[in-house]
Amino acid sequence: MFYEILIPQRTVRKAGALGEIGRLVERRGDKAFLVTSSFLVDYAKTAAASLKEAGFDTKIGDFVDAEPDIAVVDKLTEDAKEYGADMVVSIGGGSVLDTGKAVALMINNPGSVREYLHGVPFGMFENRGVYSACVATTAGTGSEASPCSVVIDHEKQVKPNMLHQFLIPDLAVLDPELLLSLPKPIVAATGFDALTHAIEAYVSLWSNAATKMYSLEAIRCVAANLEKFVNSDDLEAAAELLRGSNLAGTAMNAATGIAHGIGQPIGAVYGISHGDAMSILLPISMEANLDWAVDAYGQVAVALGVDPLGKSPRETALAGTAKVREIAAAIGVKTKISECGDFSKDKFAEIVQSVNDTIDADNYCNPRPLTDELVLEILEKAF
C-alpha cells in the first residue's frame, strides 16, 4: 500500500529549549521574523535574545491574539517581506503557529493568501517558503508537526484548512516548561483538541500503517496525562502531553473527520474556540460514525484504556466513546454549544452551507459519508 508521510525535518523536545533556539535553528540567512501573541511576548524576547547571541537580527511582528484571518496573514507577510526575513520563528498555540507557517510560505509566493484558500489551482504554491521554526506553547493543535494552516475567511464565513507539503516546519520545538504558565481551562481544551486529532486520524479513510501508529501512541499519551496535568504542574505530564499533541499532528497526514469538518464552521459562525468545538463534537461524531468503523473505534478504545475482555467489538467501541465523555467530565471542558454563549439554532442552515462551501479533506475522509442531514443531526445533539 502506497502512502506518504510529511514530518518536520527536526523535532526537539527539551525543557528550556526556547532559550536555545539560536543554537537549534539552521542558518539560512541572518534575519529572523518572530510571530507570537501579546501575552507571550516574554517568550518572544527570550527567543530573540538567543537568536541575537547566535548572530541573527530579529524583529517581532504584530501580535496574533485570535485565530488568524486573511488580513492578518497578508499584513504579517508584507511586514516580513519588507524586513527581508530569511526565517520565521513562531512561538505560540495553534493560531500563532498556523499564522507563522503561512507567513513563511507566502514570503516567497505572490499574491494574497486568499488565492491559495479558494483560488485555482487550489493550494498550489510555486515556491518553498523561508526557513520555518515552530515553538509550541500549548499541547493541542500539533501545528508544529502538520502540513496545514487554518485561515479564516470572514467574507465567506468559513475556516478553510490550507494543506500543502511546504507548510511543514523545518524545526519543531517542544519545551514543556512553556506549558506551566497556561491557564488550566486552556490546557483542558487544547488537550482535547489533540485527542480529537489522534482519534479522527485513526479512523480516517486516508489512514495507513504509519499514521495509525502515530495516532494510537498519541491517544495513549493524551489519555494518560491530560487529567493529571490539568490538576497539577507535573513537568513530565506536560512533556508527555506535548509529545502526544506532536504525534497527533503527524497523524493528521491522514486528515481528520466530521468533528473538524463541522467544528471549523461552528467556530467561524458562532465564534466558539476550536478546543471547545472539539470537546463538544468528538463524542457525538464518534457515536455517529461508530457503525461505519467499529473495529477502528475498538482499537481507539483500547488505546484510551478500555479493557476489551468479554466485550464484542461494538461494545468495546461504545466503551471508548464513554471513556471520552468521562475524560471530558473529569477536566471540565465544554460539552454543549449552548454552554459557550447565547446562540440560536437559526444559524444551523448557515453552518450546513459553510460545511458544503469548505474544500477540506476532513469532509471527504470521514468513515461515514457527510450529508446535510448528518450535519443537522450532529448540530442538534451538540446544541
Q: Is the dihedral of CA 323, 328, 329, 335 positive or negative?
A: negative
Specify whether 334 is located in the same domain as 287.
yes
pLDDT at 318 over 90: yes
Residues 238 and 180 sit within 8 Å (Cβ to Cβ) = yes
Three-state helix/strand/coil letters over 58-75: EEECCCCCCCCEHHHHHH
- pLDDT digits over 257-313, tens only? 999 999 999 998 999 999 999 999 999 999 999 999 999 999 999 999 999 999 999
- pLDDT digits over 39-65, tens only? 999 999 999 999 999 999 999 999 999
Domain of 327: which CATH number? Answer: 1.20.1090.10
C-alpha 231 chain-centroid distance: 23
Whether the model clears a pTM of 0.95, i.e. scores above it, the answer is no
Domain boundary among 119, 154, 179: 179
Specify whether 101 is located in the same domain as 24.
yes
Specify whether 207 is located in the same domain as 340.
yes
Which residues constitute the domain of residue 40? 10-179
pLDDT at 361 over 80: no
Specify whether 14 is located in the same domain as 152.
yes
Specify whether 143 is located in the same domain as 197.
no
CA torsion 254→256→261→264, rounded to 10°? -110
Specify whether 154 is located in the same domain as 134.
yes
**Does residue 121 have a cis peptide bond before it, meaning omega lies within 30 degrees of 0?**
yes
Specify whether 167 is located in the same domain as 221.
no
Per-residue cell: 127: 515556491
Domain of 174: which CATH number? Answer: 3.40.50.1970
Residue 1 covered by a domain: no
Q: What's the pLDDT at 122?
A: 53
Compute φ and ψ for 161, nearest 5 degrees.
-100, 100
Specify whether 370 is located in the same domain as 316.
yes
Specify whether 359 is located in the same domain as 215.
yes
Q: How many separate domains does the chain show?
A: 2
Residue 319's identity, in one-letter code, is A
Residue 67 covered by a domain: yes
Specify whether 217 is located in the same domain as 329.
yes
- pLDDT digits over 17-39, tens only? 999 999 999 988 999 999 999 99
**Other beta carbons less than 10 A from residue 216's beta carbon:** 20
Specify whether 329 is located in the same domain as 231.
yes
- pLDDT digits over 128-164, tens only? 999 999 999 999 999 999 988 999 888 887 778 888 8
Specify whether 203 is located in the same domain as 166.
no
DSSP letter for 120, please. Answer: S
